[in-house]
Amino acid sequence: MRQISALMILAVLVTSCGKESKYPDAKSAYIVETIETPSGLNAETGGIAFLPDGRLVACFLRGEVMIYDPEAKLWKLFAEGLHEPLGVLPISESEILVMQKPELTRLKDTDGDGQADLYETVTDDFGMAGNYHEWTYGPVKDHDGNLFISFNTASEWGIIMDEVRGRLDTILVPFKPKQKFSAVPYRGWVAKVTPSGEFIPYAYGFRSPSGLLITPDNQLFVVDNQGDWVGTSTLFSVQQNKFYGHPASMIWVPGWKRGDPSKLPLEQLNAERQRAVVQFPYGIMAASPTQPVLDNTDGAFGPFAGQILEEIKGVWQGACIPFIDKQGLHKGNNRLAFSPDGSLYVGQVQHGFIGDTGIQRIVFTGKVPVDIYSMNITDEGFDLHFTQAMDEATLRDTSNYHFRHYYYEYHLKYGSDQFDVQKVGVKDIAVRDGGKTVSLKLENLKPGYIYELTMGELKSEDGEVLTNRLVCYTVNVLRSGRKDTPPLAY
């Protein structure tokens, strides 16, 4: 729930670009516009999404659900009184799912007056200790109509109320040493709610799973946030009944008889957990990543639709790159949604942490940015693909590539230092595709490491300097199938 300093877009669809520009004279590829919110609204944005008719629906932390007509620039109240809603999923103009702290709720306008009058509980089959940190996220819907929601762990700095909802298990209390805990069922889990309403605890081991995504091929991805047991923030590919590293939630595994999970031997926990697809180096890429979104705009949002993540020998991995940093974009970017016109709406939150309030949108001007399009692992290094043909001379200049590798560690202690930080030399450079791709061979390539590349002033053929010059690739596996990572590499 803290800020993200860089906006992450995980683009998986391959599309072509080429739409007429509304900004023919734009100097930059993207502009950031601020959406005016109604006076009196504390615009801490918990969720945003678009209705089938193209209007925006947003929920705010003081409990309002509001609908915004981007044409008329008018806001209308749809529902109120909700408990810290942090996710919204429209079914139709008159039916909207909202994830609020105590439950997943179906809001229905049954009398057609434009406001919800029916607040139906879809599921509340999870516990609440009454701890402020027990946020709930989602829902996202898979192709079979199942909904996925996720439950934050509770904070050792917060309370357990005298009365809780759900079975209380205080094996982790008092929490010494300090760590996030799960005193009631399914804190630290992702759950699946079937179309018939059945609640299925799905996967566990999360600390603060604040963003969920279903990919076009029906896979679930979940973001987790750096802290105890989470060396740096991550993106996971999530499968049923698997464990994702934070032990607190393990006590709700059916038939659990192994006592306080945080006291299990570290090697054992380490062996049982799933590795991240992408790690976001803390303080370098972002502090608290939030929601992944897919660029499914067919080029209306620019050239980034395409593959950044890749599956090597059945293992997902890939790179993260800053997309928009500053340029008028506020802090605390919590929720994202693509508008039917291809612009990306971003809702902000602060909630006692660093951040901002409000809603902005990022609009592609039609001017193709000079940027990294993707980074792919090769046998001995990486291929970098650019959005435009680059100047060959700068591409061939070794001094333009500063590679380092390091890894974060899996352990109880909050966050992680970087281990085995080493510069990695580039031993060979090949320019391909008329300057749109450069193949870099490295002096070493090892699984379990993040390879961080900071580039010099690479230029396009037209002499424009590369916009984002930082990219971090999480190497889980080599193309050869080698995956002998350092033992506790996060």
Partner 1 sequence: MRTTLVLFFVWFLGHSQLSLAQADEEIEREIEIKAIAGLKYDLTRIKVKPGERIKLTLTNADEMDHNLVITKPGARLQVVDASNKLRENGPRLNYVKASDKVLWSVRIVTPGQSAYVIFQAPTKEDVYPYVCTFPGHGLVMYGAMYVTTKDLPPLEKDLNVPRATATDVGMEHHHAVADLHPYKTTPPYLYRIFMPDAGPAAIAVSLPKQLSYCWDAGTCRLRYAWQGEFLDPKKYFDKKAEKYAQIMGTIFYRDKTSYPLKFSVDKNPVVDFKGYKLIERYPEFHYTIDGKDVYELIKPKEDGSGLIRSFKVPEATQPLYFDFDNSDGATYTTSKGNINGDQIKLTAEDAHAFVIVMTKKQTAK
Q: Which residues contribute to the site for partner 1 (CB under 8 A)? A: 2-3, 5, 37-42, 61-64, 66, 75, 77, 80-84, 100-103, 105-106, 116-121, 124, 128-133, 155-159, 161, 163-165, 178, 281, 283-284, 287, 331, 351-354, 414, 417-418, 421
Spatial separation of the C-alpha atoms in residues 252 and 201, rounded to whole Å: 9
Q: Name the token pair of 180.
A: 């996030």
Min dist. Cβ of residue 292 to partner 1 (A)? 22
Nearer to partner 1, 118 or 488 (CB): 118
Smallest distance from the beta carbon of 62 to partner 1, in angstroms?
A: 6
Instruction: Work out how close the CB of 239 gets to partner 1 at its nearest, in angstroms, rounded to a whole number.
Output: 30
Q: Any idea what DSSP says for residue 374? A: E
Tokens of 181: 């805990």
Closer to partner 1 by CB, 16 or 39: give it: 39
DSSP 310-323: EEETTEEEEEE---
Contact present, 185 and 252 (Cβ < 8 Å): yes
The dihedral through the CA atoms of 263, 266, 270, 276 has a sign that is: positive
Nearer to partner 1, 208 or 297 (CB): 208
Separation of alpha carbons 305 and 387, rounded Å: 11
In the complex with partner 1, which residue's Cβ is closer, 185 or 366? 185
Q: Given the complex with partner 1, which of 185 and 369 has the nearer CB atom?
A: 185
Residue type (1 letter), 75: W
Cα–Cα distance measured from residue 272 to residue 338, given in angstroms and rounded to the nearest whole number: 37
Of 146 and 226, nearer to partner 1 (C-beta) is 226
Name the residue among 172, 221, 166 with its Cα closest to residue 199: 166
Of 184 and 390, the one with the shorter C-beta distance to partner 1 is 184
Q: How far is the CB of 102 from partner 1 (least distance, A)?
A: 4
Q: Minimum Å distance from CB 348 to partner 1?
A: 14
Residue 173: CB minimum distance to partner 1, A: 16
Phi and psi at residue 357, to the nearest 5°: -120, 160
Cross-strand bridge partners of residue 386? 372
CB of 219 to partner 1, least distance (A): 31
> What distance in Å separates the CA atoms of residue 94 and residue 108, rounded to the nearest whole number?
6
Residue 40's CB is within 10 A of a number of other CB atoms, namely 5
